[in-house]
Copies of this chain bind each other. A is one copy, B any other.
Amino acid sequence: MPYIARWGIIATGWISEQFFVDLLVDPASRGVTDIVHKPVAVASRSLAKATKFIADHGKGIDGVRAYGSYADLVADPDVDIVYVGTPHSSHYEVSLQALKAGKHVLCEKILTINAAQARHLADYAKSHDLFIMEAVWTRFFPLSLELRKKLHDENAIGAIRRVTADVGFVAVPDIKSRLYDPFLAGGALFDVGVYPMAWIQMICYHHPENKKSPPSMIKSSMVKSRLTGVDESTVITMVWDELHIISVSTCSIVVDSPKDCAIRVQGDRGEVIIPSPTYRPVKFTIRIYGSEGKEDDVKTYDFPIPGPMGFFWEADAVARDIRDGKIVDDNYSIEESVSLMERFDQVRQENGLKYPAEIEFVGESDGIA
A contact set with B: CB distance below 8 Å = 161-162, 164, 170, 217, 219-223, 226, 232-233, 235, 237-239, 244-246, 248, 250, 252, 254-256, 258, 260-261, 264, 266-268, 271, 289
**A246 cross-chain contacts in B, Cβ below 8 A:** 221-223, 233, 235
Contacts of A261 in B (CB 8 A): 258, 260-261
Complex CA gap A161/B220 in Å reads: 17
B258, A264: Cβ atoms closer than 8 Å:
yes
Is the Cβ of A235 less than 8 Å from the Cβ of B222?
no
**Most chain B CB inside 10 Å of its own CB: which residue of A220, A223, A226:** A223
Are B255 and A226 interface neighbours, CB within 8 A?
no
A252 contacts which chain B residues (CB < 8 A)? 161-162
Given the interface pairs A260-B261, A268-B170, the reply to whether A237 lies near B255 with Cβ below 8 Å is no
Known: A170-B268, A223-B244, A254-B268. A235 touches B237 (CB 8 A): yes
> Which B residues lie within 8 Å of A223 (CB)?
161, 239, 244-246
Task: Establish whether residues A237 and B239, one from each chain, have CB atoms under 8 Å apart when the complex forms.
Answer: no
Q: Say whether, besides A162-B233, A256-B266, A244 and B226 are in contact (CB < 8 Å).
A: yes
If over half of A's interface residues share one DSSP class (helix, strand or loop), that class is named, otherwise mixed; here it is strand
Given contacts A233-B246, A248-B250, contact A239 B258 (CB under 8 A): no
Q: Mind listing 7 A-B residue pairs with CB under 8 Å? A: A161-B255, A162-B233, A221-B239, A223-B245, A235-B246, A254-B268, A260-B261
Closest 5 CB pairs of A and B: A255-B266, A221-B237, A219-B219, A235-B237, A233-B246
Residues of B within 8 A of A245 (CB): 223
CA A255 to CA B287, docked complex, whole Å: 13
Whether the Cβ atoms of A221 and B217 lie closer than 8 Å is yes
Q: Which residues of B contact A217 (CB under 8 A)?
A: 221
- Asked whether, in the complex, the Cβ of A255 is within 8 Å of the Cβ of B162, the reply is yes
Q: Are B235 and A248 interface neighbours, CB within 8 A?
A: yes
Question: Which residue of B237, B239, B289 contacts A219 across the interface (Cβ within 8 Å)?
Answer: B237
Complex: A164 Cα to B248 Cα, angstroms: 11
| Chain B hits for A267, CB < 8 A | 255
Q: Which residue of B lies closest to A252 (CB)?
A: B162
Beyond A235-B246, A261-B261, 4 additional pairs, beta carbon < 8 A: A223-B246, A235-B248, A237-B237, A254-B268
Bound: A271/B255 CA distance, A: 10
Among A246, A252, A260, A264, the most chain B Cβ lie within 10 Å of the Cβ of A246
- Give the distance to chain B from A19, nearest Cβ to Cβ, in Å: 27
Chain B residue nearest to A221 in the complex (CB): B237
Chain B residue nearest to A223 in the complex (CB): B246
CB distance from A165 to the nearest CB of B (A): 12
Complex CA–CA separation, A254 to B164 (angstroms): 15
Whole-angstrom CA separation of A322 from B260 in the bound complex: 46
Closest residue of chain B to A173 (Cβ to Cβ) is B268
Q: Report chain B residues within 8 Å CB of A164.
A: 250
Q: How far is the CA of A237 from the CA of B261 in the complex (A)?
A: 20
Give the residues in chain B near A266, CB-CB below 8 Å.
Answer: 255-256
Task: Point out the residues of chain B lying under 8 angstroms from A268, CB to CB.
Answer: 170, 254-255
